[in-house]
Structure 1
Amino acid sequence: MTSSPVPYEIRTAAPDDLPRLIDLIADHADFERQKVNRTHLAENLPRYLFGADARLSVMVAGRGGELVGYGAASIEFSTWKAACFLHLDCLYLAPQSRGAGLGARMLAAFENLARQQNLGWMEWQTPDWNIDAARFYERNGARALPKLRFAKTLSHIPSR
């Protein structure tokens, strides 16, 4: 008799997930041609996830005890709409876990989180060269917004 594969689980991140979560964050940054400082993440991320200053919601996806993806979001405010919304900062799956519907399940988990918080919408971005991600988001009911994204460094966050 053949056993069926262990299903993927999506759940809220726990403190024990931090080492693998940091690996996934670094993989995600590499994929998007960016760099992160793992030491800085290890020292500072717990405060925003689990501490008194917590303001980040992170969900992880795993199977058989191995984490294969994560998503991170926070509540933000729109002046024009005078309302809060969920900003999905990251949604990443390790390459071997893509194409099986897990990304759509993770996106739906964040949609549920937004609904639980009584938020009317979600926003996020992806690099303009990531056509696969853009197609995935469009297949899942999102639409691209015509804006440029800008950033200005105000303090030094260490890189690798």
Structure 2
Amino acid sequence: MSMDIEVRSIRQADLPHLLRLCRRHAEYEAAIWFENNQIERWSEALFSTSPDLFGWVAEANGRVCGFMTVTVDYATWNAAHFSHMDCLYIEDEYRGYGIGRRFFDCLDAFCRERNIGHVQWQTPPDNQLGIGFYQRMGATNKPKLRFFHTVSPREEA
């Protein structure tokens, strides 16, 4: 099958597609998905004058079929900014067409523009396809545990 693939920055009109892809990504990782007014919140995070989130989509033959999002963080030990790849997901039927590599090209360009020297991310240990892809991209891994802490809402006085 011939694929006309474009990888580009996320646009406002892509957000409903991003919602669909995030649901599928959560399903792929066997994670719990919940609706949380994401489209409105993404709109602010991605398109404000000082964005908290940066992202790209892949569009194949007119269908948004994948996405990658990143944030910029700061490492205390290195005293330097780094990029955190929050999500990278490509629908099954669109894998193997070089979309992931093109996302990484966008990520590298994004980091170079900001003088950011490295990127960090995590993936489930059973995501062997993803792990193999990341290793082919030259990434290395470091075993760590990922912890979560829920902050209770502030009590009203």
What residue ranges of structure 2 are gaps of 5+ in the alignment?
none
Q: Does the Cα contact within 8 Å between 1:26 and 1:38 map onto a contact in 2? A: no
Matched, 1:54 2:51: yes
Post-superposition Cα deviations, 1:94-144, rounded to whole Å, max 9, x if no partner, equal 000001221111122111111111101111110011111111100110001
Asked if residue 75 in structure 1 is aligned to residue 69 in structure 2, the reply is no
Q: CA RMSD in A?
A: 1.6
| Residue aligned with 2:37, SS | helix
TM-score computed with the length of structure 1 as normaliser:
0.89
Q: How far apart are residue 68 of structure 1 and its match?
A: 0.4
Report whether the alignment pairs 1:95 with 2:89: no
8 Å Cα contact 1:49-1:55 kept in structure 2: yes
**1:154 aligns with one of 119, 135, 151:** 151
Q: Report which stretch shifted further, 86-95 or 50-59.
A: 50-59
Distance in 2 between residues matched to 1:33 and 1:151, nearest whole Å: 17
CA gap 1:95/1:6 in 2 versus in 1, 3 angstroms: closer
Structure 2 partner of 1:15: 12
Separation (CA, whole Å) in 1 of partners of 2:88 and 2:47: 19
Aligned to 2:39: 42
Q: Which moved more, 1:11-20 or 1:29-38?
A: 29-38
% identical aligned pairs? 35
**Per-residue deviation, residues 40-86 of structure 1 (Å, max 9, x unmatched):** 21232211111245210010001222100000001000000000011
CA distance, structure 2, for counterparts of residue 106 and residue 124 of structure 1 = 14
Contact 1:47 1:53 in 2 (8 A): no
In the aligned structure 2, how far is the partner of 1:117 from the partner of 1:33?
34
Length-normalised TM-score, structure 2: 0.90
CA shift, 1:152, in A, is: 1.0
The answer to whether 1:27 aligns with 2:27 is no
Please list every run of at least 4 consecutive aligned residues from structure 1 whose deviation after the TM superposition is greater than 4 angstroms: none
Q: Tell me, in whole angstroms, the C-alpha distance in 2 between the residues paired with 1:146 and 1:5.
A: 39
State the shift of 1:154 in Å.
Answer: 1.5
What's the counterpart of residue 115 of structure 1? 112
Structure 1 residues not aligned, in runs of 5+:
none
CA–CA distance in 2 between the matches of 1:155 and 1:111?
A: 37
